[in-house]
Structure 1
Amino acid sequence: MCSGGCAKCLGIALIPLAILCVLANILLFFPGGKVASQNSNISDEVWYFGGILGSGVLMIFPALVFLGLKNNDCCGCCGNESCGKRFAMFSSILFAAIGFVGAGYCFIISAVAINKGPKCYTGVLGGWQYPFTDGNYLSNTNLWNLCQQPTDIVPWNLTLFCLLLIMSGVQAVLCAIQAINGLIGTICGDCRCCGCCGGDGPV
């Protein structure tokens, strides 16, 4: 497969993942599936916008660049033959790095949120707080009863942050693959030119 074709496949995979990450982050603003009475009652990690900014907005740019590389397989990039396929593949490495950083940001935020647990109403010490420490609630579901409100906040946050963790991890892997693919394309060139640009060899 040409390096541009491989990049296109990766771009196609990144777009739905980015959309799902944005949706998951938005759902976290509705603890337990309900509108929060106060913004301060929402877990801090939700406001870091890991899924919206990290795995969402920052991931769209690399995905679009990867998709565009297929159209530049042999005769330059953006319709400019002087640009060269190798330069286009090199630029994809930079965008892959941006995507990797965005996915890494979301991954770290999600991991911290899972370990910390959700903010909820416990009825003691002012009510709203983080009742769990060091992920102790993950192995002991009986502790979930400490959260009186919102209803089902623990499984809600845990499920959505786990989804963000998994999807951002997949995004990071895909961006890493494109970085390697882009490096190969930069050094070795892409597929055969199929007679364009005045040659039959690789660009």
Structure 2
Amino acid sequence: MCTGKCALCVGGSLYPLALISIICNIILFFPGWDVKYSQNGHITEEVKYMGGLIGGGAMVLIPALHIHLTGKQGCCGNRCGMFLSILFAVVGVAGALYSFIVALLGLVNGPHCNQMSDSWGTPFKNRNESYLKHRDLWVICTEPTNVVEFNVGLFSTLLVASSLQLILCAVQMINGLFGCLCGTCRNKEKGPL
């Protein structure tokens, strides 16, 4: 596979992953599918870091656009464009890594919720054992409804999306290096005029 086609594939694959990250992060602002928790400040702390919006979203979407353009013929489909795609891929790696760390912290610390004792807090934070292994503990959170499942599902999706983004951006860094040294092979495909 030529480096240009690989860049097209990587760029095209990053678009839906960035969109998934953005959507997951936006949904996390509405636990229990209700606006009142965001208005009252009763959302999980890691949601406020906006790992999916900033990291897995904007910091991956912009490099994805350049990487995709690098794979096409034109101003970016050359050795210089491939060199720039390495730099953009580094930005993508940083964004994906930020999203990954925030999602991991969101899973480890657990949700911000109203506990049985009628006080808001993060009941699963700083425990010796993970709440993820003990589903029977999830009933501690009484409000928002099913907030533990809500957070686990969305933060897990962000974790998977950011992992794939990390892999794809790392692949583009290697691909960009080969493209910078050897060319994009787009000119070779056109054949003699």
Residues 1:166 and 2:167 are matched in the alignment:
no
Which string of whole-angstrom CA distances, capped at 9 and with x for unpartnered residues, describes residues 78-108 of structure 1? 5xxxxx8211110000000000000000000
Which string of whole-angstrom CA distances, capped at 9 and with x for unpartnered residues, describes residues 95-149 of structure 1? 000000000000000001100000000143x610011134621010111011011
Q: Is the 8 A contact 2:107 2:156 kept in 1?
A: yes
Residue 77 of structure 1, CA deviation? 2.4
TM-score (norm 1): 0.87
Distance across 1 between alignment mates of 2:148 and 2:186: 54
Taking the TM superposition and a 5 Å limit, the aligned residue runs for 1:96-115 are: 96-115=89-108
The SS at the match of 1:145 is helix
Residues 1:131 and 2:104 are matched in the alignment:
no
Distance across 1 between alignment mates of 2:88 and 2:16: 18
1:178 corresponds, among 157, 172, 176, to 172
* RMSD of aligned Cα (Å): 1.9
Structure 2 counterpart of 1:81: none
Residues 1:77 and 2:87 are matched in the alignment:
no
TM-score (norm 2): 0.91
The SS at the match of 1:41 is coil
Taking the TM superposition and a 5 Å limit, the aligned residue runs for 1:26-175 are: 26-37=26-37, 38-72=39-73, 77-78=75-76, 85-124=78-117, 127-133=119-125, 134=127, 136-175=130-169
Residue 34 of structure 1, CA deviation? 2.0
Distance across 2 between alignment mates of 1:195 and 1:28: 46
| Matched residue type, 1:30 | F
Distance across 2 between alignment mates of 1:192 and 1:28: 43
Taking the TM superposition and a 5 Å limit, the aligned residue runs for 1:14-29 are: 14-29=14-29
The SS at the match of 1:148 is strand
Residue 193 of structure 1, CA deviation? 2.2
Residue 195 of structure 1, CA deviation? 8.5
Distance across 1 between alignment mates of 2:131 and 2:91: 34
Q: Is the 8 A contact 1:116 1:132 kept in 2?
A: yes
Mark the runs of 5 or more structure 2 residues left unpaired by the alignment. none
Structure 1 residues 91 and 128, CA gap change in structure 2 (3 angstroms): same
Mark the runs of 5 or more structure 1 residues left unpaired by the alignment. 79-83
Residue 192 of structure 1, CA deviation? 5.9
Q: Is the 8 A contact 2:8 2:72 kept in 1?
A: no
Q: Is the 8 A contact 1:29 1:36 kept in 2?
A: no
Q: Is the 8 A contact 2:51 2:99 kept in 1?
A: yes
Distance across 1 between alignment mates of 2:111 and 2:90: 31
Distance across 2 between alignment mates of 1:13 and 1:68: 13
Q: Is the 8 A contact 1:50 1:106 kept in 2?
A: yes
Distance across 2 between alignment mates of 1:39 and 1:14: 34
Considering only CA atoms, is the larger Rg found in Structure 1 or Structure 2? 1
